[in-house]
Structure formats: structure tokens, C-alpha cells
Amino acid sequence: MLAAVTVAGAVANQEEGVVAVAAGWWVLAALLGMWIGRRRETTESIASLLAGARIPTTLPEVRPWRTVLNRLWPLFLCTAGAAALSFLLPQVPAVAAGFAIIWALAWRRQAPAVTAIEERDGARFYIDKTSPIKPIRLVRIPGFRSNLFELNGAQRGSRPTQPRI
């Protein structure tokens, strides 16, 4: 959306050079984001968040839209502000789009870390109800362990793994 309003604002103000510079910034931002997010291990903040997940006695309330609005309101606010300025200063949404590209690409490998723990341990993680200005907290619900390795034939011909004690 930010890239589209950048182009629309630059065309409306007849500033075609802004689009060329913005496109270069977006390519640079994509390369930087891929460089930052290249490692396979999870970041320290996500690892501590997963380790600090509490185990409740009941299932949590699942309200996806409330969670999205509660957690992503700063991104929505910045996007709306940058889009509002696009017809006066098309450079603002262009810069914001570049930072959004960096952010998205830098965090692209964090969700698989959660999925790996969920599949390995059979647990499920849910976002706990918190204030929009407080740090996120997770709830860990015990579940059934996944046997994907045994189901897809990866263990065929080899001795089964022993459970850790």
C-alpha cells in the first residue's frame, strides 16, 4: 500500500524522480532485510518469549482480530500517517515502505521456530491477553506430540529414536 501511494503521490506532484529513488531504496531494503533475516536460528527475543510462556489451567479465548489490532496498531498508525502525507511529501511513504520491507524480511524465519517447537513437543502457543502498550506474552497449551517423522518414512530402515528423560 505504501509503495502504491508513493507512486500515486509522485505522479500527482509530477515528481518522477521520487519513484526511481524509492525503487532503489526498496531494492536496497530488500537486500538488507534478507541479510538480517538470513540466519536459521530464532532471535533472542523470540526465544525468551517462547521459554517464558506460561501454562494455564484452561484454554485461552481465541480472538484473532483483537490480537491483530492489539499487537499491530503501531504499524497501522504509521502506515495511515505515511499514506496521508503521500500527496504532500511522496518521499515519506517511500521511506516507510522500505522499512516495512526490511522488517518483514528480517522476521521471516521466526514463525518456523514456533512451528518446530509445536511439532516437536506437541504444544500449542497462543497470545495471552495483554495491554496494547505492554510486551507480548504467550500461553503454552500441552497437546499431542507429532509423529511426522514416522509418518513420512524418514525413520524407515533406521532404529527408532529413544525418548529423552
Q: Is the pLDDT of residue 134 over 70?
A: yes
Angle in degrees, CA 94, 16, 13, rounded to 5: 80
Task: Provide the phi-psi class of 98: left if phi over 0, else alpha when psi is between -120 and 50, else beta.
Answer: alpha
pLDDT tens-digit map of 114-124: 888 888 888 88
Domains identified in the chain, total number = 1
Share the mean pLDDT of the chain: 81
Question: For residue 60, what pLDDT is reported?
Answer: 78
Residue 164 lies in a domain: no
Instruction: Give the domain range for residue 49.
Output: 2-151
For the entire predicted model, the pTM comes to: 0.68
Query: Is the residue at 156 inside a domain?
Result: no
Long-range CB contacts for residues 82-86, cutoff 8 Å, separation at least 24: 82/2, 82/5, 83/1, 83/2, 83/5, 86/5, 86/6, 86/8, 86/9
Give 126: exposed, middle or buried? Use CB within 10 Å, 0-12, 13-18, 19+: middle
Say what percent of the chain tops pLDDT 90: 12
What's residue 33's pLDDT?
93
Is 161 within a domain? Answer: no
User: Is residue 160, in this structure, part of any structural domain at all?
Assistant: no
Residue 97 has pLDDT above 70, yes or no: yes
User: Does residue 162 lie within any of the structural domains?
Assistant: no
Q: What is the pLDDT of residue 158?
A: 53
Residue 163 located in a structural domain: no
Residue 98 has a pLDDT of 92
